[in-house]
């Protein structure tokens, strides 16, 4: 995640005038007309717009993320978590009877497992096609079969890259869920036992007296 405060070179508690002054100073050197980098200038503008928007700034300060400045991997990770949040919201079980963060983490781990299996299968298919190509003598003239097999290998390579990107984003989503502690309800049997002990203690003390 790109940090807008770092981009503008201002403190976390910088006011509007400080932000504007920092932007004007950096924009002069970063503007493409002055020989600056186009992408760097675009990031500078986005950072400036974010910090002048109180709502977006508050969201960034609370979460560390902003859609406009988030890189592709982080954005995919946030989308994955958003889907899992929807599942938690729709879960009819009583809060405290299950750990929603653990549930989300388990779902992400399962997605990673499936994606890794899919990747290994794609690699296996690609290797098998490659072995066919090695044994296939090139036909004089137009090589239709060879062309199609090579095209299939290329398509599989693209699918493998997409799967690897999904794995990376899902692993990033898992990282985002680290550190949360969810307070669970006390198991009913333990709660009842504790209540019985508390109820019996006065009687025990009374008998002892």
For position 189, what pLDDT does the model report? 57
Would you say residue 204 lies in a domain? Answer: no
Number of domains, the chain: 2
* Same domain, residue pair 9 and 91: no
pLDDT of residue 82: 92
User: Are residue 83 and residue 176 in the same domain, yes or no?
Assistant: yes
Q: What is the pLDDT of residues 88-141, one digit of tens each?
A: 999 999 999 999 999 999 999 999 999 999 999 999 999 999 999 999 877 777
| pLDDT the model gives residue 197 | 52
**179 or 199, which is more confident?**
179
Residue 136 lies in a domain: yes
The answer as to whether 203 is a domain residue is: no
* Torsional sign, CA 81, 87, 91, 97: negative
Confidence (pLDDT) at 198:
55
Rounded Cα distance between 48 and 45, Å, is 5
Q: What share of the chain is helix, strand, coil (3-state, %, to 5)?
A: 75, 0, 25
Asked whether residue 178 is domain-assigned, the answer is yes
Whether residue 96 sits in one domain with residue 38:
no
Which residues, in sequence order, are CB contacts of 111 under 8 Å at separation 6+? Answer: 80, 166, 170
Is residue 49, in this structure, part of any structural domain at all? yes
User: For position 137, what pLDDT does the model report?
Assistant: 79
Verify that 103 and 140 share a domain, yes or no.
yes
User: What pLDDT shows up at residue 139?
Assistant: 73
Q: For the domain that residue 48 is a member of, what is the CATH number?
A: 1.10.287.110
Both 172 and 77 in one domain: the answer is yes
Report pLDDT for 45.
93
Whether residue 200 lies inside any domain: the answer is no
Residues 173 and 177: their CA atoms lie apart, in Å, by 7
pLDDT of residue 173: 95
pLDDT averaged over every residue in the chain: 88
- 96 in helix, strand or coil? coil
The answer to whether position 201 is within a domain reads no
Structure tokens of 53? Answer: 């928007």
Q: Provide the residue range defining the domain that includes 97.
A: 71-184
């Amino acid at each position: 995640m790109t940090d807008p405060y770092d981009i503008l070179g201002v403190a976390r508690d910088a006011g509007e005038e400080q932000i504007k002054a920092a932007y004007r100073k950096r924009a002069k050197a970063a503007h493409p007309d002055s020989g600056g980098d186009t992408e760097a200038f675009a990031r500078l503008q986005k950072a400036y717009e974010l910090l002048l928007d109180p709502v977006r700034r508050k969201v960034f300060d609370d979460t560390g993320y902003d859609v406009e400045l988030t890189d592709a991997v982080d954005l995919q990770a946030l989308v994955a978590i958003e889907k899992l949040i929807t599942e938690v919201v729709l879960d009819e079980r009583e809060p405290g009877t299950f750990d929603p963060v653990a549930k989300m983490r388990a779902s992400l781990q399962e997605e990673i497992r499936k994606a890794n299996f899919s990747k290994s299968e794609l690699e296996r298919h690609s290797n098998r096609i490659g072995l066919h190509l090695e044994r296939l003598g090139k036909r004089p003239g137009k090589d239709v079969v060879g062309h199609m097999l090579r095209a299939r290998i290329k398509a599989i390579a693209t699918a493998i890259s997409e799967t690897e990107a999904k794995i990376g984003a899902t692993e990033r989503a898992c990282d985002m869920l680290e550190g949360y502690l969810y307070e669970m309800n006390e198991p009913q049997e333990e709660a009842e036992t504790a209540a019985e002990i508390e109820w019996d203690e006065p009687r025990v003390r009374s008998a002892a007296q």
